[in-house]
Amino acid sequence: MPKMAVLVVFGLLLSLAMVCNGGITSTFVRKTESTVDMPYESDAFQIPPGHNAPQQVHITQGDQEGTAMIVSWITPDEPGSSVVLFWSDKHKTKKAEGKAKQYKYHDYTSGYIHHCTIRKLEHNTKYYYKIGIGQAERTFWFVTPSAVGPDAPYTFGLLGDLGQTFDSNKTLAHYESNPLKGQTVLCLGDLSYADNHPNHDQVKWDTFGRFIERSAAYQPWIHTAGNHEIDYAPEIGETKPFKPYQHRYTTPFKASGSTSPFWYSVKIASAHIIVLSSYSSYGKYTPQYKWLEQELPKVNRDETPWLIVLVHSPWYNSYNYHYMEGETMRVQFESWFVQHKVDVVFAGHVHAYERSERVSNIANNLENGKCSPVKDQSAPVYITIGDGGNIEGIATNMRDPQPDYSAYREASFGHAIFDIKNRTHAYYSWHRNDDGAAVKADSMWFFNRYHHPGDPCKCKDSYFLYHLSKQFVPRNLYSCTH
């Protein structure tokens, strides 16, 4: 090997060893102005023209395999029509009919909330859909994912704790302008923050629905229930948890054998995505426990190599906000995640950003004293991305010193992209709002835990050369595991 090449390789190996130390608390300083909701009359909440025009349009996957879509919208004044007309360049117009319902909450009565599932869609196809009647018709479009398969590339966007402030608007705009082009949003919960307002101001649910329409009407949002979705308020007579959320945001839970809209799974391209509920019971014998117990063995990694879990309350969190709130769920399920080699767990709830090392904490039996997290290549990476920009503001207070399980943390608003390349590699990046949309404030290559389970730091030469041969830049590549 020529001398120059040896020097280059040595230098790159050295930089790799340096990034393998992990444990970064970013020194980036973001602006400190208060985070306030956009006013009701904001352009971001614009009401579409025409009498009783459909508004708050959003879509989510309607089955397990990605050949159905649930279209949801609200007509404000009267029921109107629950029909969806849909077509593509090579498919003639078809019609599906959904249902509309209303709900009451304290002194508020909702508009007519429509949900309509359109089925038998072809994969990897752009469909147009039309809702509304007369002069108030509105047309949108979406692209179905490619067929479920082990090497199907796919790009997910990640948004958490979004709310409807000026910062929320920046986060969504930043995501929309990201050149990596997310195809489906994995939403980590805490949507409108209506419950932060008097009597859980339900109009805030309406403004939030209009705010996200510009994205959610055109690409599916996969929803996770957060604590701000509970809306439990016995002081005003509202004792049915999740009432507004459940009426407005539906999920395809029955398709995965779930008995609740709050925990379910979908397959998208090469990913199997499991959504859990931090705010539904999960102890042994409960419905969620039993569902997850039978769901994990069903995941076929030869069909969907990437096993992704969404949950609202993080299990590994080194901020002083919500510290250890996810602990009981971690104790309940973490050993299963390690056994089944979950690739990554995304959470929200903490209004900041954090990425963990691959760690587990499952050895403790109350007597052996093994109660600290240890590096574990079969464990997921845990990512907290509750930094959408909601009215409660940024979480800045961190535990000091930074614990070993924490690889990178920063108190900034932003979004992330999980970009699956094939069955072995995915590129993950986090984008803070204060940068240009293409700037990656934190990033890492994910090696699939089932198809590429090696420890990159223990055999770094071969991985390193592999990356060189693929012309990947070996910088910030690994969540290290010495």
Give the shortest CB-230-to-Fe ion separation in angstroms.
10
Report how far residue 387's alpha carbon sits from residue 348's, in angstroms, rounded to the nearest whole number. 8
* Sign of torsion over alpha carbons 255, 270, 292, 157: negative
Q: Which is nearer to Fe ion, 129 or 249 (CB)?
A: 249
Q: Which amino acid is at 359?
A: V
Give the shortest CB-105-to-Fe ion separation in angstroms.
20
Give the shortest CB-282-to-Fe ion separation in angstroms.
17
Give the shortest CB-208-to-Fe ion separation in angstroms.
15
The DSSP letter of residue 256 is: G
> In this structure, are residues 432 and 412 in contact, taking their beta carbons and an 8 Å threshold?
yes
Q: Which is nearer to Fe ion, 54 or 226 (CB)?
A: 226
Name residues whose C-beta falls within 8 Å of residue 460's C-beta, 6 or more positions apart in sequence.
13, 16, 17, 20
> In this structure, are residues 92 and 242 in contact, taking their beta carbons and an 8 Å threshold?
no
> In this structure, are residues 329 and 311 in contact, taking their beta carbons and an 8 Å threshold?
yes
Radius of gyration (C-alpha) of the chain in whole angstroms? 22
Q: Which is nearer to Fe ion, 218 or 323 (CB)?
A: 323
Q: How far is CA 406 from CA 3, 181, 252, 293, in A?
A: 38, 28, 34, 28
The DSSP letter of residue 307 is: E
Residues within the interface to Fe ion (CB under 5 A): 190, 226-227, 349
Q: Which is nearer to Fe ion, 57 or 310 (CB)?
A: 310
Give the shortest CB-422-to-Fe ion separation in angstroms.
34
Name residues whose C-beta falls within 8 Å of residue 29's C-beta, 6 or more positions apart in sequence.
none
Give the shortest CB-323-to-Fe ion separation in angstroms.
13
Q: Which is nearer to Fe ion, 227 or 256 (CB)?
A: 227
What is the Cα 336 distance to its own chain's centre?
Answer: 21
Q: Which is nearer to Fe ion, 226 or 389 (CB)?
A: 226
Report how far residue 206's alpha carbon sits from residue 203's, in angstroms, rounded to the nearest whole number. 5
Q: Which is nearer to Fe ion, 75 or 227 (CB)?
A: 227
Give the start-end residues of each E strand in 144-244: 154-159, 184-187, 221-223
Give the shortest CB-335-to-Fe ion separation in angstroms.
25
Place of tokens 């002194």: 107
From the list 114, 228, 312, 322, the catalytic residue is 322
Can you list the pairs that 235-238 forms with residues at least 24 positions away whose Cβ atoms lie under 8 Å? 236/106, 236/199, 236/200, 237/106, 238/105, 238/106, 238/200
Give the nearest residue (CB) to Fe ion: 349
H or E element, residue 419: strand 414-420
| Residue 470, number of CB atoms within 10 A of its CB | 9
Q: Which amino acid is at 365?
A: N
Q: Is 322 among the residues known to form the active site?
A: yes
SS3 percent helix, strand, coil of the chain, rounded to 5, is 20, 25, 50
What is the per-residue burial (b if ≥16 Cβ within 10 Å, else e) of 429-438?
Answer: bbbbbbeeee
* Sign of torsion over alpha carbons 419, 145, 280, 57: positive
Give the shortest CB-189-to-Fe ion separation in angstroms.
6
Q: Which is nearer to Fe ion, 16 or 347 (CB)?
A: 347
- Residues marked active site are found at 322
